[in-house]
Each structure stands twice: as C-alpha cells, then as structure tokens.
Chains A and B, each alone.
Chain A
C-alpha cells in the first residue's frame, strides 16, 4: 500500500466525511494519479468509517450520479483489497534492490556451527539454500566430527522445520506474550525463596556463565543439570581413581588393542563420531599388508560395537565389573578367577601388555563408577593414558546428586520458583510420576524447550526455545574444544534464544549475539571471532597432564544379577528428545531393524524359557515399577538379561511421537543395570521391522574372514560359492568406451559399523519421505540406502555383519530393458538414471532388480503425511526439501542416484574451468556422513582414483556378481583380527 500522502490532504480526525467531500477528493486527482488517489482516499480513516456504516448518507447515495457512484465503488473495492491483506497469505515476488552479500540464486552457502547432545558439542557445517538450511554435514576442523556426523545431527534438520515445535508462549495453555511471561517470571523470582533452574547438561560456556551469575544474584537459588543418560559414572570413577573429577577423552587411533567393557563405543554421545573414525582408521587395509587393531567387546545386548568386534563376548552387564577385576588380576599376574574364563582373560591381558602402551580399556557409561575406576587403573597400568585416552580435569559434578536433591525438594514442597530449560524432568527424573502433583503446587513453573513436553504440560508457563540453527550460542566438545553456534535462519516461530531468555530473567535483556560475542571478547577471543565463525572452532582443546591413580581398586562387590534388566538410550531417538522426529522414528535400529517402536530385547534361550516370541507383550519388573513392552529376539544377546531402550512412550511431544512405544523411565530408579524379572502377558503388539530375514542362506553376499583366511584367500570368496564364468557377454561392450568420466562407488565392509548415518543423510539430501509404521510393516519404507544385517552362528557364537546396500548402478542393469516407457536409462557416465517425470509406475524394474533397491511411491507419501494437515504443516515441511532434487509424487519409482545433483554441480564447475572433475571433488551424501569413511566415490575409468584403487583390492567384490549385472558399486570384504591364542 503506497504511503505517499496526496498534496494538501489532511485527515479530519473527528468529523465524518460526506460524499461530496469524497467526490471532491477523487476529482482532485487526474490522469495517472487516478489509482493512487483512490488508495489515498480509501486509506483515510474517515472513508473507512464511511464504508463500515452499512448505509451511509442514504439520501446522498441516491442522489449520486453514475460517474460518482462508480468512483466511490472503485474506492471501496480498493479498500476491500487492502483489508484482504490482513488475513490472506501475502505472497510478494520482489527482486532485491540490493542483494544480500554472498547470495547467488541457486547456489548454496555453508556455515560452520555446532549442535549439542547430552551436553557435548558436535561441530557442523550447514548448507543454506536461498536462506533455508537444507543439509547438515560434519565439520572437518572440529575434533568430534572430523567431517562426519551421526544420525542425530542429520535429523536435526527435520526438527528445525517440525510443525509440532512450540510456536507461542503459553500461560496455562493459553497463548500469551513473551513480555507477560518475563514480567511474571521476574516478579515471582524476586519474591521466591528457593528458586530452581533445571537445564539439560549445558555445553555452552556463555550460558554456564549466565546461569551462575543468575544463581549468585538470587540467594537460595540453585541451578540443576539433568540428563537421564549421563557420564556420572565416568566422573565418579575418575574421582575414585585419581581423587578428582576428569573427563575421559578417547583417541582410538592410538590403540592397537581395545577392550570394551560393555561400552557401546559408537553410540555414546557426539564424541562417538570421532571414536568411530579413529577405530576405522586403525583397520584400513593397504594391499596384502593386513595390519589391524583388535577390538574385544564384553556386552550383554548386541551393539554396533559388538558387531564390529574381533572378539565379542556375550556376558551379562552386571558381570562386567567382576570381569574387569579379573583383567586387573591377570595384568598383575595373579589368579584371574571370576565369572569369565580365566585363560581368555589372561590372553587379553597379555595382548594389552604386548601393545606397549598402544592399547586402551573403555568402560560403558551406564556401568557403575567402580568399573570406570578400574578402567582408569588398567589404562594407567598398560600405559594408555596420554595416548589412547586423555583424562581432562573438569569441575563438573555428577548430575545424579542434584537431580535427587531436586526430586526431594519438589516432593517436600520446598521449591517456589522453577524454570526448566530443555530438560524434561517430569518425564525423565527417577520416580518422575510421583512428582507431578508436587510440581503442580509450585507457585511459579515455566518450561523453555523446543517442544511443549510432558513437563511443559504441567507448568504454568511455556516458552518456545529457539533451535540451534536459529540462535547464537556456543558449545564445548568432550575434549574441551569450544565452538560458536552460528544461526542460519531467524526463528521460524516465536521462539526465544536461550541466552536472551536467561538474560531477560536476570534483568539485563540483550541479543544472544551480543551475549555470546561479549563472553568471548571478554575472554580475549575477539580478534579471531571472524575466523572462529568460519572454522567452527574458537578455542581448541588444551593438552593435559596425565593424572596418577591414587590407592587401589576397591574390594569385590556383589555378584551378578540372576535376571538383569538393562536400560539404554535409544539408538535412533536417543533419550526421547527426538521422539517427534519422523526420520529417526523410521530409521531402522541397528541390529534389530525395528522402526517406530522400542522393544524388550532378549536372547533366543531366554525367550524360549519365558515361552514368548517376537511381538509378544511382556511385563518387565524392577523393584516396584513395571512396564509392558513387546519382545524382540536378538541372537547373541546374553541369557537371563533383557535390554530396553528409553525415549519412547511419550505422552506429550508432538503428533509423530505421542503414543509410540512404551515408557521405560519408571524403571530408571533402579539404575541402568538392575535386577528384575519378566513375565509373559497374553497380548501381542505388532512391530514394524525393516528386515525380517537375517540369514544369508549360504549365499555369497557379505564376505567376511579372519586375517589368516585373508592371507590364504585374499578374495575371501567362499569355496562352495555358486561358480559361474564371470564377465561373459555376447556383445563387446562399447557403451562406456567414451572419454567421459565413469562414476562408481566402493564400500569397505571392514570399516562399516552399521551406524545408519548414511541412511539418514541420504534421506535429508534426497527429499525422501517418511511413510509411517503401517507402511514399513508392509515393506514400503523408502530409504534409498539401507543397512542389511545378517548373523551367522560360528562355534556356538552369533556373528553379526552389516552391509549398506543402495542402487548398484549396474552397467547391464536389469531394470532398464524392462521399463516400457524408458523411464530408467543409463547415462554415458555409467549412472543408472531414474526419470521420475516419465515413470508410469509399472514396477517391473523393481521386480527385476536383484538387489531390491528400488522404492515405489505406493501412496502420496510426500504430501499426505498422516499426522500433518495440508494447509499449515506440510508447507512448513516443504521448506526442508533440497531444491536440487525432484520431489516425487505418488505412483513413481525412485532409487539412489549416486547423488546426481552433486555430480552435476561438480561437473558444471569443472567444465567452467575446462578440466575434468578431480578425484574426491564429488562427495555423495552417504559418503559425507559416514563416520568411518567406509564409502568412496569417484571415477572408475581413472586408474589412480581412490575408488579405482579400492576396486582393485583383492578383497573387492561385486554383490551377486554371478548375475553378470556388472555393478558400479563394489564391496571390500570384512576382515576380523581375532587373537590367535584365544580359542573361540
């Protein structure tokens, strides 16, 4: 609406305009000014009043002549158009008068930032397309990431655009304003005697500073951090061993022998991304020189660490402390009697000693402090400290103490002001259910979080918190490296950055940017601010001195539990914070491939003893608490032991996650490893597993062998494999004999740990929809790259292997000749391309694909998502789509494209510079995310490319090579490095 006022037009404030006056005004304008005049007339308050009166100046209206009438009508129409702007969505297409710096339409920009999970940072580089964050990658310069990510980092993108995120400040469930909240919070705080601030584990030094200042300013105030899955045991263990608290920072690249004491190495917070990289780097095979690190794993459930292990020993989690003691005995040349075979323990001890300091023992976070203390002692004894493990001094306190105190205070009614930030205490505190009533009696309660969660539902106030991609902050990684969290977009809803919230409550409102920058300027980092933003690291880790253990290990504790119940964070939705993330809900969990549910995992023997099978519902009891959940049998699980994953059974988290799975937090009071029992109930709960058959049926699918076997038979091809002459053809293949580059991929099964990061990275990159539990149960999941899991039984032990499978881009692709409309064709660069626009959906290609990697849009998955409405939610979800990738409609086939959009981008760039695409210039989404760098992509026609070298390896093979489809994706066989002195 033009704001230019007409000449000499002064609005009368009180007097009503008559028609004559309006006409006069209209006549004053002429020619080109005509329409402008209409708007001007319409814009005056007098004229609005005139129109709002249904029959204004009735007599004069009748006496008006035709021309005047039309003019007035035109004015009222213009006004109708203007008032329409208030409620119709405004869509203006306006070119930039002054374009923002750096933005070139169609080109993406990348910004370094970081995310925080369980109080630790993971450095990221986020891609922005025309102002929208569309893809999250790891930051090469950040020590926790080294360029890779875990599944959670990839899926944060969906959380950013999640339509269920809190959008408004709420007071008792009613929309309120932020100012009202601040007023209420500050007034209540001024009057409060014992205010409490509950947060998740804070990784931000700035926020820590702010909160400490806030607590200091209010006598009686306390700040409590709470994470249901934390590293308390490691902290307490270091206190037991060294006398003061230390952070445990592993560097597995320095370890030739690794003993995992019930540690899910690759799934213990953001640092696990680094651990996976280091572990895999010690297993790279160059030529026939097979030198690899060796991983011993003691665990009850099967984890990604267990399936990567050279020796996986199935033990109960409650036995592990005693096994660690045995190891100590064996290292000290004493009798190593205990629950585990002493001879084996002695061999492990000998192996650790023989490595001359290049060995490490890793303890699981859920194990008691005692075990961590023992691990500290062993690491000292074998000389690992300073090499494969660093102990970094810290002043952090175990979270459990504060949380227990808070629970007691709440129950006792001693809290009169409580602000919760990003924690969900009413759901995750031990005995949380009992606290609900007490919490409601607290005079002032407020929750600031991404979602309106269970705690928010019981609180008086809720404030939507900004996502990390929406607000400035900073964060520390496990090794102490600090990064600046750089936002890429303004808050999508009325969300508040956490620093601004705390500052405002403190009475010193300030923008988050100023707070964070001010903190670092004060620390003397002001000069390198720009570089820190670019690199994603503002303060690198400092080397620390190796602490010396004090005293010995404690006396032997209690015996193993008769029947143990293990609680672990979920491998895909963590402690429940990602419950509303459809990508993570639908991501098949490692080993079980279960989606959209948590299960009671147990061994085959235990299931037989209990008389249950998959999907039967059982009751799990620990102490007085009981939960009900469906059984899932995991071969290789310890007997008389069950594993339950937390994070499910949310009652308030958004439309995707509510009512999915069962809540295991009621059992948490007994600890992560507890004595309990399981009872069969006569019910069943359907489970959607992405894979239902886990036996290779004796087929040559995943090649795996020991180093010994590799030396004798480098191809590791099974001797009884179905032999057929390879490469037979009736025609000389001229198709790829041109000068274009030929794309191919190689996947090193020896590096793959089955973490699923590739699957979800692909989902984010390629706009792959979520289909829901029912569809997954019917085998219609859409993931372009999947992790196949198989197990075999060797010498009475279950051996697990995994294999990522995406389209193999066969040179003689069976899908192509059967398509009736030529919707799937080959490019001269060797890509098997899918032309969505041409596809009519006969699905013949899928039938004829021996790898079954094609995915069909049976329904309109992209825009008919069950939980979301089309008017409001779906448009929001559209924002996360990658504009370089077509969004597929119902009825068309789709599959892995080798990230053709990335190939094209690199090719265009190369052509501009009149050169070929360089090796490593194209990085596919799966390759980029892979923490172990198992995936290599490049030009197979160039013998010097990394992919060609990988394909030339003796252990390289093609999947189902006997079919002569000539896949462009090759696999390198998996090797195990068992200790020859340990009898299996």
Chain B
C-alpha cells in the first residue's frame, strides 16, 4: 500500500468528538425529527408480526399438518428458515469478535448494527426449532434439566448439539452487544431530556462514569467476550450443518458441510448487513461514518465467502461422481434435471454467477447494484437450504417413497412473519438505541487524527 495512493476514509468530513457524539445520539434524542420512512418500515414490520402471531396461533392449535411437510419431506420451510436466519446472524459475530481481535478498525461503525442484527436473527431462527416440533409444549425436553423421569436428552443427536450451540450463541451475542452498549447508554443518560428515558438509560448503564478504572475493566471484559465469540462464529454453523452431515441421506451426508455452511453463513450475513446499511446510511445521513470504504470491504468479504460457497457446490458434484455411489449420483442428477431443477439453477445463478460482479470496483461502488446483489445473495442462500433440505428428502433411497413438496400459505405466513419480526425489531433498535458505537467511533477518530503526529504508517485513510 503506497502512501500516495488515495484511500477512501473510514470517517469523512471535519469531525470532533462532539460532532460524532451529536450525530449518532441525536437519532435517539431528537425523536421528533425522525424520518417519516421509519414509520413506513415499522408498519410493514408490525403488519407482518401480526401475520406471524396468527400463523403461530393456528399452528399450535392445529398442528404442523397445516404446513406442506409430508412423507418423505418431513423438514422443509421450518428448517430452511432456521438455518437461513442462523446464517444471517453470523455477520454480526464475525464483525464484532474476529475483526476486533484482528484489530480491523473499520468494524467500529458497523459492529453495533451487525450485532443487533445477530440477536434478532437468532431470535427468528430460535422460533423454528420450537415451533416445528409436533408437540411444542414438550419441546423443553430437549434441555438437560433435572426431572422425575430421570431422563437426559439423547446426546448423540445433532439436534441436542443445536440446542446448546444456539442457546450459547444467543447468550454470548446478547452479552457482547450489551457490554459494548454500556458506555453509549451512559452518554445517552447524560444527553437525553425525557426523564423516564434518562432513568432507564441510567439503570442500564450500570453506573458508568467514564472513569479510567471503568475503561480498564470494560476493555478486559470486551476482549474476553470477543475471545468467547470467536469460536462461536465457526462452531454454531458447523453444528447446524451436523444436523445434515451426521445423517445418512444422500445430499446431507457430506464432510464439506461445516466449512461450507460457515462460509455461507458469513456470506448471507454480510448480504443482510448491506441490505439494511445501503438504504439506512442515506436515510439517517451517516454516509460519513459508514463510508464507501466500508461498503467496498463488505462486498469483498461477500465475494470471498461466496467463492467458498461456490467451491462447495462444485465439490458436491465431485463427490457424487467420485463416490461412485448411485444414490449420490442420482441426487445430483435429480438436482440438475429433477422437478426442482429450476431451484438448483436459480441457486447457481444467485450464489455463483451474480456475486462475480463484485470483482469490479466500479460495481462495488455503485450502491443500487450492491443493494440488488445483497438481495440476490439473500435469496440464493435461502435456495441453497431449499436444495439441501426438501430436494434431498423428496427422492431418497426407495423410489416407492418418493414424493413432492409444496409449501402452503402457512409456511409463507410464518416465514414472512419472522421477516416482519426482524424488520420491526431492527427499526425499533435504530430508533431507540445508538445504531453506531459512539465511543468506538470517537476512539477511531482519535487514533486516526493522532497517527500523523507520531509518524506511524497510515493504515486507514482520512480526509484531510
């Protein structure tokens, strides 16, 4: 990296600590100036949440027979959506934990947002394993708890591993997010006018006064949590992939699944961050904090993970051929030419072809293109799970048991319902919580503006 090269900055414009604090916290403090578009989005989310409630109520009342699941396709939208949502959450953890440990400074203006996304996505994901059981009222039997039956769960089942993986993930994500929020809550406590909000922030900020001792403890805690989260980025989706890899079903029983699922998760996660960030930075005028440089790097990560995922697809074809296993070979044949071939080829188009556009810097900087690609990748990752789950199940070993799968209105009701829940929660978060970490951006500004004096090599650019 040559010094003369103009590098896009991570913080634009002439900034001081005050301007940064004011810009971010005013979104929360100046409720009356909130953009109208917020209401539109919130209402969409709210409407879909009602749909979710209706879908869940009817589901519990009638049983999962209201869905299209059948024999042989006993899992479909329920598990597709579970895996899809869990995957979406992964960008947040990657950004918060791994990029923090790697001292990637560009993470500071998107980590809060991505972490919130993680939490809400895991909430959406968590609904499915519960609701997809035939008898959700006894789903707690999946937890190891002391009981008079003297029964443990069956620890060999990957579904039990899922219970641990997802609940750990949820807990650590919330902790990490909340710990990172404490100094900002203190800032809000000091700046808000509305009393109840001030009290609330005051309580939630746990008596934060910005003392050096506070900062010392905070940094230690944050690094420990980052260390805890880091393996989760890899483990959660690996374990989710075991739901399939451990079975003996062609199309599921594949050793490449763990890395391929993790890459897919990060891929989908960054796509979702971009889907939200591209319009939000315009809406909330935060282009100076979430700069084109952020967009560019996120695109690059998408491209990289996308290529790993595509490699996975190629390896699946290779396995089918190299295994000489007729069941595996038929599976590939069925994916390519079977009744759901359209879904497979659409998947290859979405996840294999379209992201190649991101090789071009020009395209990475063209926001409408980036936005569309992020949506396409979101769809592609959903299709990937569709191909893996129902399309593998619908034609397995005995042709006599082959069948077809068609989702019902209730499958879509629940799916769009969780999307609505996600949208609603995200927009509540944007409005009532600083969506960018105030103190971390200030710290970043400090470091960037002081580097020149100490003649350190410039790692990241700043507009002079």
Chain A residues with Cβ below 8 Å from B330 are: 697
A847-B392 Cα distance, complex, nearest whole Å:
10
Q: Which residue of A lies closest to B142 (CB)?
A: A820
Q: Are B157's CB and A844's CB within 8 A? A: yes
**Does B21 sit within 8 A of A, measured CB to CB?**
no
Q: Which residue of B lies closest to A855 (CB)?
A: B71
Chain B: minimal CB distance from A814 (Å) = 5
Chain A: minimal CB distance from B83 (Å) = 14
Interface locus among B158-166, B177-185, B278-286: B158-166
Chain A: minimal CB distance from B236 (Å) = 17
A699-B326, A891-B135, A892-B135 in contact; A851/B248 too (CB < 8 A)? no
Chain B residues with Cβ below 8 Å from A839 are: 134-135
**Does A692 sit within 8 A of B, measured CB to CB?**
yes
**Does B247 sit within 8 A of A, measured CB to CB?**
yes
Chain B: minimal CB distance from A752 (Å) = 14
Chain A residues with Cβ below 8 Å from B368 are: none
Chain B residues with Cβ below 8 Å from A805 are: 398, 400
Q: Are B134's CB and A843's CB within 8 A? A: yes
Chain B residues with Cβ below 8 Å from A778 are: 68, 70
- A 835-849 to B, binary, CB cutoff 8 A, 1 in contact else 0: 000111111101110
- Among A790, A851, A890, contact of B399 (Cβ-Cβ < 8 Å): A790
Q: Are A856's CB and B159's CB within 8 A? A: no
- Among B68, B73, B136, B160, contact of A820 (Cβ-Cβ < 8 Å): B160
Chain A: minimal CB distance from B221 (Å) = 34
Chain B residues with Cβ below 8 Å from A943 are: none
**Does A886 sit within 8 A of B, measured CB to CB?**
no
Chain B residues with Cβ below 8 Å from A695 are: 399
**Does B359 sit within 8 A of A, measured CB to CB?**
no
**Does B56 sit within 8 A of A, measured CB to CB?**
no
Q: Are B402's CB and A693's CB within 8 A? A: yes
**Does A780 sit within 8 A of B, measured CB to CB?**
yes
Q: Which residue of A lies closest to B134 (CB)?
A: A841
**Does A850 sit within 8 A of B, measured CB to CB?**
yes
Q: Are A693's CB and B74's CB within 8 A? A: no
Chain A residues with Cβ below 8 Å from B139 are: 840
**Does B31 sit within 8 A of A, measured CB to CB?**
no
A693-B400, A841-B135 in contact; A817/B63 too (CB < 8 A)? no
- Among B141, B249, B396, contact of A838 (Cβ-Cβ < 8 Å): B141
A820-B153, A848-B247, A891-B135 in contact; A780/B397 too (CB < 8 A)? no
Q: Which residue of B lies closest to A593 (CB)?
A: B400
**Does A859 sit within 8 A of B, measured CB to CB?**
yes
A699-B331 Cα distance, complex, nearest whole Å:
13
**Does A819 sit within 8 A of B, measured CB to CB?**
yes
Chain A residues with Cβ below 8 Å from B402 are: 692-693
**Does B347 sit within 8 A of A, measured CB to CB?**
no
Q: Are B75's CB and A843's CB within 8 A? A: yes
Q: Are A780's CB and B249's CB within 8 A? A: no
Chain A: minimal CB distance from B304 (Å) = 32
Q: Are A722's CB and B326's CB within 8 A? A: yes
Q: Which residue of A lies closest to B392 (CB)?
A: A847
Q: Which residue of B lies closest to A781 (CB)?
A: B71
- A 848-873 to B, binary, CB cutoff 8 A, 1 in contact else 0: 10111011111110000000000000
- Among B156, B325, B395, B397, contact of A851 (Cβ-Cβ < 8 Å): B397
Chain A residues with Cβ below 8 Å from B314 are: none
Q: Scan residues 547-590 of chain A and give those whose CB is less than 8 A from a CB of chain B.
A: none
**Does A691 sit within 8 A of B, measured CB to CB?**
yes
Chain B residues with Cβ below 8 Å from A697 are: 330, 399
**Does A28 sit within 8 A of B, measured CB to CB?**
no
Chain A: interface size category: 35 or more
A821-B141, A847-B249 in contact; A892/B154 too (CB < 8 A)? no
A697-B133 Cα distance, complex, nearest whole Å:
33
A693-B75 Cα distance, complex, nearest whole Å:
21
**Does B401 sit within 8 A of A, measured CB to CB?**
yes
Q: Scan residues 875-896 of chain A and give those whose CB is less than 8 A from a CB of chain B.
A: 889-893
**Does A19 sit within 8 A of B, measured CB to CB?**
no
A803-B398 Cα distance, complex, nearest whole Å:
11
A680-B72 Cα distance, complex, nearest whole Å:
34
Chain B: minimal CB distance from A786 (Å) = 8
A698-B152 Cα distance, complex, nearest whole Å:
43
Q: Are B397's CB and A858's CB within 8 A? A: no
Q: Are B154's CB and A819's CB within 8 A? A: yes
Chain A: minimal CB distance from B247 (Å) = 5
Tell me if B's interface is mostly helix, strand, loop or mixed. loop
Q: Are B246's CB and A788's CB within 8 A? A: no
Chain B: minimal CB distance from A412 (Å) = 55
Chain A: minimal CB distance from B393 (Å) = 6
- B 55-84 to A, binary, CB cutoff 8 A, 1 in contact else 0: 000000011111011111111000000000
Chain A: minimal CB distance from B425 (Å) = 27
A814-B247, A859-B65, A891-B64 in contact; A847/B75 too (CB < 8 A)? yes
- Among A851, A854, A860, contact of B398 (Cβ-Cβ < 8 Å): A851
A852-B72, A890-B63 in contact; A818/B134 too (CB < 8 A)? no
Interface centre among A695, A846, A847, A855 (most CB of B within 10 A): A847
Chain B residues with Cβ below 8 Å from A788 are: 398, 400
Chain A: minimal CB distance from B201 (Å) = 41
**Does A521 sit within 8 A of B, measured CB to CB?**
no
Q: Which residue of A lies closest to B330 (CB)?
A: A697
- Among A781, A818, A850, contact of B397 (Cβ-Cβ < 8 Å): A850
Interface centre among B70, B75, B396, B401 (most CB of A within 10 A): B401
Q: Are B74's CB and A847's CB within 8 A? A: yes
Chain A: minimal CB distance from B162 (Å) = 8
Q: Are B248's CB and A891's CB within 8 A? A: no
**Does A822 sit within 8 A of B, measured CB to CB?**
yes
A781-B403 Cα distance, complex, nearest whole Å:
12
Q: Which residue of A lies closest to B163 (CB)?
A: A820
Q: Scan residues 137-172 of chain A and give those whose CB is less than 8 A from a CB of chain B.
A: none
Q: Scan residues 392-429 of chain B and give those whose CB is less than 8 A from a CB of chain A.
A: 393, 395-404
**Does B189 sit within 8 A of A, measured CB to CB?**
no
A817-B134 Cα distance, complex, nearest whole Å:
19
- Among B134, B158, B327, contact of A891 (Cβ-Cβ < 8 Å): B134
Chain B residues with Cβ below 8 Å from A848 are: 247-249
Chain B residues with Cβ below 8 Å from A698 are: 326
Q: Which residue of B lies closest to A859 (CB)?
A: B65
**Does B335 sit within 8 A of A, measured CB to CB?**
no
A781-B72 Cα distance, complex, nearest whole Å:
11
- B 325-355 to A, binary, CB cutoff 8 A, 1 in contact else 0: 1110010000000000000000000000000
**Does B132 sit within 8 A of A, measured CB to CB?**
yes
- Among A696, A842, A851, contact of B133 (Cβ-Cβ < 8 Å): A842
Interface centre among A820, A843, A860, A960 (most CB of B within 10 A): A820
- A 231-264 to B, binary, CB cutoff 8 A, 1 in contact else 0: 0000000000000000000000000000000000
**Does B1 sit within 8 A of A, measured CB to CB?**
no
Chain A residues with Cβ below 8 Å from B62 are: 859
- B 139-176 to A, binary, CB cutoff 8 A, 1 in contact else 0: 10110000000011110111110010000000000000
Q: Which residue of A lies closest to B162 (CB)?
A: A820
Interface centre among B71, B132, B153, B246 (most CB of A within 10 A): B71
A842-B401 Cα distance, complex, nearest whole Å:
20
Chain A: minimal CB distance from B394 (Å) = 9
Q: Are B71's CB and A847's CB within 8 A? A: no
- Among A790, A820, A960, contact of B400 (Cβ-Cβ < 8 Å): A790
Chain A: minimal CB distance from B298 (Å) = 35
Chain A residues with Cβ below 8 Å from B399 are: 693-697, 699, 701, 790
The list of the 7 closest CB pairs from A to B, nearest first, reads A841-B134, A891-B134, A858-B65, A859-B65, A852-B401, A788-B400, A843-B74
9 examples of A-B residue contacts, CB within 8 angstroms:
A722-B327, A779-B70, A779-B73, A814-B248, A842-B129, A842-B133, A852-B398, A858-B63, A860-B63
Query: Which residues of A come within 8 Å of B, CB atoms?
Result: 691-699, 701, 722, 775, 778-781, 786, 788-790, 803, 805, 814, 817-822, 838-844, 846-848, 850-852, 854-860, 889-893, 959-960, 963
Supply 8 further A-B pairs (C-beta < 8 A) apart from A696-B399, A821-B142, A963-B248: A693-B395, A693-B402, A699-B327, A780-B65, A817-B156, A846-B72, A852-B396, A891-B133
